[in-house]
Structures are given as C-alpha cells and as structure tokens.
Amino acid sequence: MLYVSGHKIPDSDSIISAIAISYLQNQLGTQAVAVRQGEINPETRYILDKFDLETPELKTSFSGCDIFLTDFNNYTEAPDDIDQANIVGIVDHHKLGGLSTSSPLEIWIRAVGCTNTIIKEMFDYYEVEIPENLAGAMMCAILSDTVIFKSPTCTKLDTKITKELAKIAKIEDFKSIGLEMFKVKSAVDGVPTRELVKRDFKNFDMNGNKVGIGQLEVVDLTIFDNIKDDLIEDIKALKDEDGYDTVLLILTDIMAMGSQILVATNSLDIVQKAWDIKVKDDQFWLQGCLSRKKQIIPFLEPAYKDK
C-alpha cells in the first residue's frame, strides 16, 4: 500500500492534493490511499462536502511504509518517523527543505501557487482523465492557495489550470465559489483562540531558532476586533510553552490586500529589522502582504542569520 500525505496541520491544498495523487496512482496501477497528519479545517471541510469527497484517514506514523509526499518536502512538516519510511515521490511548490532518500524517486516541484496546479500537469502527462468532482476540489485548492489569484505566488499557469479544472467540473463562476470559501474561513465566532492560531500554522528553523508562523485569511479584519488581544496573549503563551523564539500570526484581509501581523518574540530587533518597521502593541501592518511563503519567510529568515 502506498500512502499519500500532505504536511502536518493540513490545509486545503495538502488534503485535496493527497486525494488527487492517490486517485492518479490507483489509475496507474499502484494501490494508494490518501491520508492526513492532522485535523480538517473549516475551508477544507467545505470543499470535501461540496464535491462529495471522502475525508482522508488520520495517520501519523509511517515507519516501514511507502509514502508519497505532497505540498511539503521538509522535516519540520513531515511525520516524526519519516526517516523510517520509504519516500517514493514528492510533488510540491515550496523551496527545497532538506529531505534525503536512499533510493531514486518521482519528483515534481515547480514555482507555482499551488500543488494542485502541478498535479493537473501530472494527470495530463499520464493521460488520465480527472473526475468532475475531483476537478472541482482541485480548482478550489488553487483558488485558496492563490487567494483567488491575488497572491504574489500566483502564476499564469495557476490561472490557466484553474479555468481548465472549472471546465471539467462544469463550473462557470468559479470566483464566487472562491469568495464563499473565504467566507467560511472568516467564521471565527466561538472558536478557541488556540485553535485559530494553529489552524494554518507552520514551524521553521531559522539559523537554529525555532519560529512558528500562522495565517488566517479573511474578507474583513474587523471580525478580529473583539478577540485580537486574546490572540496576542495566546501566541505569547504558545511561544513560552513550546520554546519558540518568535511566533507570528498573520491576519490577512484579502479585500484590503494587506496583513496585520501579531508578534510574540524574544528577538524584537530581528522582527523589526526584517521589514524595517516598528512593532507597536505587539503588532504591525504590511500593506500588500498576502503570502507567508513570499512576503514573510524570505524577509524574516535572512534577518536571523545575523543573530
């Protein structure tokens, strides 16, 4: 059995790409099953329900198993026993993260906005048709990762393939579905702050310093007005509890095209140096910031190198 898994704390791209690759592998004659390393977030649940797709089973140990990685290629987001697993493939749209293997493997890595964009190319390469419901889910994953084409990570290929998937799924107004997804993302009433912080959270090693960065993408930042102070206190608690040097929570307003960054750090000088800003009341605004991958990590990581 081949297991197909995305990263820890899975997002929509991670879950839908695992489902898509497992379907493709089965069509190519390899028995495969999609799995997940963490809980399903509300946006992904919306996509799975809308297109009648089964939720991948939870699996966190892969020792002795064949595994195909999707939407990541680093140790921090991999299963804890990844060194005891046999990695047979990787499909990803992130920078190289240091994983090594003992045997050759299939690798598809491209600088695009979403892993599902690459997977559509894989289906085309192997001449395998995509089912209507899977095409719709893949389309949604691309809309999510590219913030409906607004993110600087979005490429012409992402836009082209989204339209191709929408045609397969027989969806005319795909942007309205994208906005509906982000409305689902924006529902925070009654959700514990720690759950919000960890909803889309990734760990990084920056020059030997443990850094955690979460992101919440919404259609209106005012939904955080009554809980922002609680979110700040929660990331401070998380920093101390888990030994982080810095924890950032990116509150992204996709309509205003910018992000309010909440900060808990032992290295305030580094955070301020990264963007040449002043942190006031444990937060600062970055106009035009929509992408953690292109507008946060490439600035913060080099700043740590001088520490």
Domain boundary among 183, 217, 245: 183
- Give the end of a domain, one of 161, 183, 205: 183
Q: Going residue by residue through the chain (307 aa), what tens digit of pLDDT does each one get?
A: 999 999 999 999 999 999 999 999 999 999 999 999 999 999 999 999 999 999 999 999 999 999 999 999 999 999 999 999 999 999 999 999 989 898 999 999 999 999 999 999 999 999 999 999 999 999 999 999 999 999 999 999 999 999 999 999 999 999 999 999 999 988 888 899 999 999 999 999 999 999 999 999 999 999 999 999 999 999 999 999 999 999 999 999 999 999 999 999 999 999 999 999 999 999 999 999 999 999 999 999 999 987 6
CATH number assigned to the domain comprising residue 293: 3.10.310.20
| Statement to judge: residues 251 and 160 lie in one domain | no
Could you tell me the two tokens for 121?
Answer: 């190319």
- In this structure, what DSSP letter does residue 97 have? B
For residue 188, is it within any domain? no
pLDDT at 210: 97
Tell me: do 63 and 118 sit in the same domain.
yes
Contacting residues for 233 by C-beta, under 8 A, at least 6 apart: 193
One domain, residues 77 and 28: yes
* Exposure of 152 in the CB half-sphere (CA atoms within 13 A): 12
Instruction: Provide the residue range defining the domain that includes 22.
Output: 2-183
**Can you give the CATH number for the domain in which 99 is found?**
3.90.1640.10
Answer yes or no: do 81 and 216 share one domain: no
Residue count of the chain, please give it: 307
Same domain (yes/no): 26, 162:
yes
Query: Got the DSSP string for 108-165?
Result: EE-SSS-HHHHHHHHHHHHT-PPPHHHHHHHHHHHHHHTTTTTSTT--HHHHHHHHHH
Domain total in the chain = 2
Q: State in Å, rounded, how far the first CA of the chain is from the last one.
A: 45
Using alpha carbons only, give the angle 62, 68, 71 rounded to the nearest 5 degrees. 110
Report pTM: 0.91
What b/e readout covers 50-76, taking b as 16+ CB neighbours within 10 angstroms?
ebebeebeebeebeebbbbbbbbbbbe
Let me know if residue 116 belongs to a domain. yes
User: Is 84 within 8 Å of 64 (Cβ atoms)?
Assistant: yes
